Homo-oligomer: A and B are copies of this chain.
Amino acid sequence: MIFILKRGVSQEQVDKFVAGWEQQGLSAFVRPGTEHTAVCLIGNTAHVDMERVVELEPIVDYARRVTEPYKLVSRTVQQENTIIRVGGAEYSPSTFPVISGPCSVESEEQVVLIAKRIKAAGARLLRGGAFKPRTSPYSFQGLGEEGLRFLLTAKQETGLPIVTEIMNQTQIPLFEDVDVVQIGARNMQNFDLLKAVGRMGKTVLLKRGLANTIEELLMSAEYLMSEGCENIILCERGIRTFETMTRNTLDLSAVVLLKQKCHLPVIVDPSHAAGIRSLVPPLSKAALAVGADGLMVETHNDPAKALCDGAQSLDLDMFDKLMDDLKTRAPLEGRTI
């Protein structure tokens, strides 16, 4: 159940209103908007008489029962787009920040070199894997803490905020200086991890699981937000289908639907979706055209020698070319790269 409060209501009035509900055993989340504040009740609200509340509570403009299972992330609760700022990057309807970097951090030299090149090309954030989820226990599992240190060095040298994946909640202390904490596709429904990361006070990049529906992605974002996390970036990265010629099937319709139903920014990762280098530039352009709020693209200084996912990484010259193509097209979508 959602209450939209009248304009000009004081903080004190809101606090009193919330306290009233909490005495009845319900949770009440306050969502201030630019014009109106919304209050979102969670718990068994079957006994609440909506019309009486509007009548009796002078601060309430109108009340509405919500049937979608997600609430805090819903556009019904917050109509304005959530704007997220990380370092110099901004996620908003008028920007299109590109995250780039290697699948896994391999050495300090490598990640610094890549960071400089992608920054020059116009990327706004640096990504790199330090802890890598791998299907086989015998595959390279990432450099771990050392990898995180190399990323921080690259951040110092370039000023680019960093994005990297957390694999379990015991790693939280290591992520203190990370700008954006990524929850990978395989952990999208690791609910305990969502709760713990939701309490970190960080910007979170939440990737869609490869067999998860759009609604399940929104419910996982709801887990984060119900723990107090405000800055969540959703990421479409391909779903598992019967088609075997691509690694996964990129679902660009999901971008449009997520933005209709939810106020959070939505980006696209064409590299993991396709698993094939030559598909990354056309899918990136399609992501911009379909209305995505940004991209995450894998790059490598020498893809043929990459320790992980080389086949889908762009080399740095290809990345320059892609950024040029995006810069030409972004103004038509009302965005700047």
A226 partner, pick from B137, B169, B215, beta carbons under 8 A? B137
Q: Which chain A residues numbered 165 to 182 have a C-beta less than 8 Å away from chain B?
A: 167-170
What is the count of identical protomers in the complex?
4
Residue of B nearest to A186 (CB): B189
Query: How far, in Å, is A134 (CB) from chain B's closest CB?
Result: 7
Q: By the criterion CB–CB under 8 Å, are A213 and B136 in contact?
A: no
Residue of B nearest to A211 (CB): B211
Q: Is A273 an interface residue (CB 8 A)?
A: yes
In the A-B complex, the 9 residue pairs with the smallest Cβ-Cβ separation, listed nearest first, are A211-B211, A289-B289, A286-B286, A285-B289, A286-B290, A168-B192, A186-B189, A137-B223, A282-B290
Q: By the criterion CB–CB under 8 Å, are B251 and A278 in contact?
A: no
Q: By the criterion CB–CB under 8 Å, are A216 and B135 in contact?
A: yes
Q: Is A79 an interface residue (CB 8 A)?
A: no
Q: By the criterion CB–CB under 8 Å, are A190 and B190 in contact?
A: yes
A183-219 vs B, Cβ < 8 Å mask (1 yes, 0 no): 0001101111101000000000000011101111001
A215-239 vs B, Cβ < 8 Å mask (1 yes, 0 no): 1100100110010000000000001
Query: How far, in Å, is A128 (CB) from chain B's closest CB?
Result: 19
| Residues of chain B within 8 A of A136, CB atoms compared | 69-70, 219, 222
Q: Is A243 an interface residue (CB 8 A)?
A: yes
Q: Which chain A residues numbered 116 to 147 have a C-beta less than 8 Å away from chain B?
A: 133-138
Alpha-carbon distance A202/B48, docked complex (angstroms): 48
Q: By the criterion CB–CB under 8 Å, are B253 and A283 in contact?
A: yes
| Residues of chain B within 8 A of A282, CB atoms compared | 252, 255-256, 289-291
Alpha-carbon distance A239/B251, docked complex (angstroms): 11
A251 partner, pick from B70, B190, B214, B243, beta carbons under 8 A? B243
Query: How far, in Å, is A277 (CB) from chain B's closest CB?
Result: 11
Q: Is A257 an interface residue (CB 8 A)?
A: yes
Query: How far, in Å, is A166 (CB) from chain B's closest CB?
Result: 10
| Residues of chain B within 8 A of A278, CB atoms compared | 256, 260
Alpha-carbon distance A255/B45, docked complex (angstroms): 40
Q: Is A240 an interface residue (CB 8 A)?
A: yes
Q: Which of A191, A222, A288 gathers the greatest number of chain B CB atoms within 10 Å?
A: A191
Q: Is A328 an interface residue (CB 8 A)?
A: yes
A285 partner, pick from B137, B279, B290, beta carbons under 8 A? B290
25 contacts between A and B (CB under 8 A): A69-B136, A135-B216, A137-B195, A137-B219, A138-B226, A168-B168, A168-B169, A170-B170, A187-B190, A190-B190, A209-B211, A214-B243, A214-B245, A239-B241, A240-B242, A241-B242, A242-B242, A246-B253, A249-B251, A256-B278, A283-B290, A286-B287, A286-B290, A328-B332, A332-B332
Residue of B nearest to A257 (CB): B245
A252 partner, pick from B209, B219, B244, B250, beta carbons under 8 A? B250
| Residues of chain B within 8 A of A240, CB atoms compared | 211, 242
Alpha-carbon distance A257/B192, docked complex (angstroms): 33
Query: How far, in Å, is A211 (CB) from chain B's closest CB?
Result: 3
User: Given A189-B186, A191-B133, A239-B249, A257 and B244 touching (CB < 8 A)?
Assistant: no
Q: By the criterion CB–CB under 8 Å, are A213 and B329 in contact?
A: no
